[in-house]
Amino acid sequence: MTTSTNGRTGFQVPSWLRVSGSVGPLGIATAVLWLSIIVLLPLAALTVTSFEDGWSGFWDAVTAPAALDSLRITVLVSVVVALINVVMGTLVAWVLVRDEFPGKSIVNALIDLPFALPTIVASIVLLSLYGPQSPVDIHLNATQPGLVVALTFVTLPFVVRSVQPVLIEVDREVEQAAISLGANNWTTFRRIILPTLTPAIISGGGLAFARAIGEYGSVVLIGGAIPRKTEMASQYIQKQIEIDRPVNAAAVSVALLAIAFVTLLALRLLADRSARKEKATR
């Protein structure tokens, strides 16, 4: 039996007691089984349901005018939300990392509130603030800007929490060196900080987009679900289930999953490429 020696005591440690980075075949099998039960099997069942009427039935369900409109609105609004949060989420992360102000710990904790808050509660809050009886005289009920506000609220933490830890690890000495050589703040940010943050920003933006296209609770009240105007794909799916058209609901669900998967995969490849490029320039 292979053993290792403890340098301080000379104690012989059996190889089977040594800790390694691998979980072994049993751990891998357990992880794959759990992933299959929780993720793969439900997705497979959904896909099978969507093709119950064959490829033509799936295609007809996805390309129905109302379905296409809901998908178009969903993707458009989600892209806008992701772009807003990429900018504002990065700014919030910067303030939380680089600035000191009273109540900073409270603000930092509030960032995670959308994770814990039931999304239907967010919809009620936003409806109370921007609905027909708005105390601030801003009426966003049953409008696409209302959808943007609701989805921005629930997806902001994805960008902030993706960028924040990376920003903490940025080497401040490199920034100071650049400034001492005559670089202004914008040049320092663009040439030194931004390349390091780019993979995290892309990842956070992708997660925000993926969450937005499947969101239901936060838009169910303030959005109004007006067909071809403010009806999101998730609301269209729910409507199809209510009128007993599970195949149509499953088909649009698969389309949403495909959009989310392709987007996340493309952004992951882009983030990895950016990370390799940034590493090569060091």
**Paired tokens of 235:** 């609301």
Q: Domains of the chain by range and CATH?
A: 1-50 (no CATH), 55-280 (1.10.3720.10)
Q: Which residues of the chain have pLDDT under 70?
A: 1-23, 278-282
Residue 89's alpha-carbon distances to 95, 163, 195, 237, in angstroms, are 10, 8, 16, 30
Q: What pLDDT score does 19 carry? A: 53
pLDDT at 68: 95
Here the tokens at position 223 are: 């959005």
Q: What is the pLDDT of residue 61?
A: 92
pLDDT of residue 16: 47
* Residue located via tokens 């960008």: 159
Phi, psi of 182 (to 5 degrees): 105, 0
DSSP summary character for residue 98? H
Instruction: Name the token pair of 80.
Output: 């806008």
**Residue 254 identity (one-letter amino acid):** V
